[in-house]
Structure 1
Amino acid sequence: MIVPRKVANSYREMVNSIGFYPSLLSLAFLTFAVITMSIEYTPLIENIKSFISVVLVDSAENARTILSTLVGSIISLTVFSFSMVMVVLNSASASLSPRVVPGLITRKSHQLVLGYYLGSIIYSVIMLININKLEGGATAIPSLGVLFALMFGLVSLGLFVFFIHSISRAIQVDNVLNGLFRQTKSEINAIIKRQQENPLRTLPDFSDWYGINSDTEGYYKGVHSEKLCALLAEHKLELYITVKQGYFTVKGYPFLKCNRDISQHEQLISEILSCFIFYIEEYISDHYRYGLTQISEIAVKAMSPGINDPGTAVKAIDMLSILLIARLSIRDINYTFKKSKDTPLLYIHETSFEELLHDNFTPLRNYAKGDAYVMTNVLEAFKNILFVANNNEDARDSLFKYLNAIVDDINENVTNEYDRHEITNMLKAIARISEKHGERLLARFQRQQAD
């Protein structure tokens, strides 16, 4: 059964919202409160309560005081914690990049803490309203429920300490960069592992395949590959996604190609298109390119006059170089198998190495082209990538094509003799790795300097 795209999008928005896990935990605590009250006065529980009477309340007034205090205190913790989340999101958007906000919102540890607070409040309120007067002046006290509520309150205090520690670390730029780097590298390694486990020597000639037009507009962010491969296997089809993830498509754009002409099968086309995901947010779990973009934007933000943190920019540049080196092991056309098949059913256009260079270094190059310290480190990053990619002709050509652009910007914006000497030394180090291209690049720099 194919799930309608609007339903799938609504589900994704709900799962990625800050209130998803708090809502689930609140429901769980409410259920537990109902269960507690249903067994509170059974003979078995009464016998258990007689053994632990020393930790149970025996006064309705004490029970009301404890529960009221717990509710008020945990509400205060919840309000403060939610306020801290909003401060962190605002600070991350202003000082890092707006693109990292979705990742911070969906951080499960913070959502679970907030959900525990809300659940504890709900549980305590349920216990509070179940302190009832009985016939003859007696009072029914859910003493076991009060004990549980007190335990939940004590745990909430511990979670509050953890929350403050975690939220203070979440906004530190080093921790954000390290998290983005680890997650991005993990996604790249996962693709490399899949391609190594299922090697493919030759690719089909996609030029003769038949186009399938998009039925919606938006940013293409991914595909439900398992569901789509099952559909393709059922109809004995192969599909090629011609656009890279993050590409903005308009209605009618031919972003797919099929090995058979299915233009007359509208229902099948509709089922295929329903497997594709279109939304605005960028999650690294969708594609590693989003992690590279977020690291690059943090570097650009660090170079803004309001922040002026070249050290962070340099660290981000070093991370980009390591990730781009890992990217060299991925083929430009990715592919996905159905478990029972030996032939790929889905081919995916990966963002090329040259496109990644342009997309991630161009904003930084344009913003920091007058900063000799940062530009020297950009050249060092390219030298490190070149050290690994020197035998890869396409990657080497892309690197030197972009290095020419970097040298042109440096010549126009860096005039200090000392800074230019440092840059010359870095270009000489590049020339030692790739002599022919490097000497040409060094001559270009020195010629423009003489002019």
Structure 2
Amino acid sequence: MNRWLFVWRRTTRELWFRAGLYAVFGIVAALAAVVAAPWVPPALADRFGGESVEQVLTILASSLLAVATFSLGAMVTAYTAVSSAATPRVASLVTGDEATQKSLATFVGAFLYAIVGVTAINAHYYAAAGRAVLFLISLAVVGLVAFRLLAWINRLSRLARLGHMIELVEGRASRALAEAAARPGLGGRAGALGPGAVVVASPRTGYVQNVDPDHLQRAAEAADTRVEVVAGPGTFVRRGEALCRLDLPEADDAVQDSFCAAFTLGRSRSFDQDPRFALTVLGEIAGKALSPGVNDPGTAVEIATTGVRLLDDWQQAREAVDAEAGVSHDRLCAAPLREDDLLDDVFGPLIRYGAGDLRVAIQLQQALQSLGSGRGALGPAARRLQREALKRSLSALGSAPDRGRLKAAIP
């Protein structure tokens, strides 16, 4: 992903960004009413330019602060509940939820609009025509607040629901897997460089959150070299460890910096370009559901079906890309996503913690058998994991009838 696009996406998901944007719009709308005043017909100014607009703004200002405070408290409650019921890694999706941010931002923006409007009226900033424009804008703001309030009530009914969190993680995993399948230049098509390649070292310690293949391609063309990406998205690197390797005898600081700029490092992993992180989070949810304190095998079964859906779509997308001619990033090479790793990320916790549950064991066998019947490298990897899961389940199931039911469930 383009590094600036990655930064933009990450910034727009922050709660303060949308709230600040709506706040600016609210202030501008309140102050800009005087600009449209010259175009207001006298009859409209006489009808709506009275004192009623101040009353409307006063009601908005007095109520929306409480609504915004309540909504923020509800979001914090949902954040805490999701962290406890699922995993702390999925809680960031609550604060980054677009519908939640729009509702909170609308309340904050409308509150500031009302405060600025009342202050401007008391300062005699508006004439009758300006108050008429402000009144019409206030009606639109009231309608928007009512719509967002209803949407927020509907969102609250499922914001902290575990199934909703699984859907959100599945959506992020699906997008990340699709982007990974569509990156032919980062799919290992070029051969690995020799041992004498120049190492581009990481300037600091952290997780690789994003790699910009277009920037790497341009830098490689400028330096007339090939690039081997060593630290892909999700890799933890220490300061001085390799981010990539160059097919050059040597590289000065300027060349190294140009390649370093393609890598975005952070304190934690990101869902955007790291499909294994999303699959790992799904596995964590399943592992927590199978813990003795929770004992929720139904969630584990849902994760198993979600894993089948995600990996099947990824396999088909990768085959479609493989069938296309040409490579857009011919100077790049990197280790592709390994099927065994993807399967273990999502199904590993189910195998380790759900081997002794008959329902989970049967669902695992059916899921892995479904993936194992497909074409490509995913099939053999799924069959290997299916044999391991069966061995663990037969060992963990203490009842002979349960072992018989498990064997009978495998076609």
TM-score, structure 1 as length reference: 0.79
Task: Establish whether residue 388 from structure 1 lines up as the match of residue 388 from structure 2.
Answer: no
- What residue is the counterpart of 1:292 in the other structure? 279
- What residue is the counterpart of 2:160 in the other structure? 171
- What residue is the counterpart of 1:370 in the other structure? 356
* RMSD over aligned Cα atoms: 3.3
SS, match of residue 15 in structure 2: coil
**Alignment partner of 2:204 out of 202, 207, 216:** 216
Deviations 1:399-446 (A, max 9, x none): 34433432342233212122101221244x2xxxxxxxxxxxxxxxxx
**Alignment length (residue pairs):** 403
SS, match of residue 237 in structure 1: coil
CA distance in 2, matches of 1:32, 1:328: 50
- What residue is the counterpart of 1:118 in the other structure? 108
Deviations 1:244-278 (A, max 9, x none): 42121112222312122333x11210221122111
CA distance in 2, matches of 1:262, 1:104: 47
- What residue is the counterpart of 2:14 in the other structure? 17
The 1:266–1:377 alpha-carbon spacing in structure 2 relative to 1, beyond 3 Å, is same
SS, match of residue 142 in structure 1: helix
Task: Give 2:31's aligned amino acid.
Answer: V
- What residue is the counterpart of 1:441 in the other structure? none
- What residue is the counterpart of 1:275 in the other structure? 262
SS, match of residue 350 in structure 1: coil
Shift of 1:114: 1.6
SS, match of residue 345 in structure 2: helix
Q: Which has the larger radius of gyration?
A: 1
Shift of 1:231: 2.3
The 1:364–1:280 alpha-carbon spacing in structure 2 relative to 1, beyond 3 Å, is farther
CA distance in 2, matches of 1:227, 1:66: 53
The 1:107–1:261 alpha-carbon spacing in structure 2 relative to 1, beyond 3 Å, is farther
Is residue 317–residue 377 contact of structure 1 (8 Å, CA) maintained in 2?
yes
Unaligned runs of 5+ in 2: none
Q: Percent identity, aligned pairs only?
A: 18
Task: Establish whether residue 51 from structure 1 lines up as the match of residue 44 from structure 2.
Answer: yes
Shift of 1:13: 6.1
Matches within 5 A, 1:352-367: 352-367=338-353
The 1:133–1:125 alpha-carbon spacing in structure 2 relative to 1, beyond 3 Å, is closer
CA distance in 2, matches of 1:410, 1:87: 38
CA distance in 1, matches of 2:129, 2:188: 76
Shift of 1:395: 4.2
Q: Which moved more, 1:86-95 or 1:302-311?
A: 302-311
Shift of 1:22: 0.8
Task: Establish whether residue 419 from structure 1 lines up as the match of residue 408 from structure 2.
Answer: no
CA distance in 2, matches of 1:35, 1:312: 52
Shift of 1:49: 4.9
Shift of 1:39: 4.1
Deviations 1:211-245 (A, max 9, x none): 32222211112213333332222222321112342
Is residue 57–residue 63 contact of structure 1 (8 Å, CA) maintained in 2?
yes
The 1:221–1:173 alpha-carbon spacing in structure 2 relative to 1, beyond 3 Å, is same
Shift of 1:151: 2.9
SS, match of residue 91 in structure 2: helix
Deviations 1:174-203 (A, max 9, x none): 2332333344234433444554xx899953
Higher relative contact order (CA 8 A, sep 6+): 2
Shift of 1:383: 0.6
Is residue 89–residue 281 contact of structure 2 (8 Å, CA) maintained in 1?
yes
Is residue 15–residue 95 contact of structure 2 (8 Å, CA) maintained in 1?
yes
Matches within 5 A, 1:306-317: 306-317=293-304
CA distance in 1, matches of 2:281, 2:328: 36
Q: Which moved more, 1:113-122 or 1:175-184?
A: 175-184
Is residue 170–residue 306 contact of structure 2 (8 Å, CA) maintained in 1?
yes
CA distance in 2, matches of 1:49, 1:144: 12
Matches within 5 A, 1:22-421: 22-40=19-37, 42=38, 44-45=39-40, 48-51=41-44, 53-54=46-47, 56-59=48-51, 62-132=52-122, 142-193=131-182, 195=184, 203-208=190-195, 209-263=197-251, 265-329=252-316, 344-389=330-375, 392=376, 395-421=378-404
Is residue 131–residue 141 contact of structure 1 (8 Å, CA) maintained in 2?
no
The 1:79–1:424 alpha-carbon spacing in structure 2 relative to 1, beyond 3 Å, is same
The 1:78–1:25 alpha-carbon spacing in structure 2 relative to 1, beyond 3 Å, is same
The 1:258–1:141 alpha-carbon spacing in structure 2 relative to 1, beyond 3 Å, is closer
Is residue 192–residue 330 contact of structure 1 (8 Å, CA) maintained in 2?
yes
CA distance in 2, matches of 1:395, 1:31: 55
- What residue is the counterpart of 1:442 in the other structure? none
Unaligned runs of 5+ in 1: 430-451
CA distance in 2, matches of 1:178, 1:342: 32
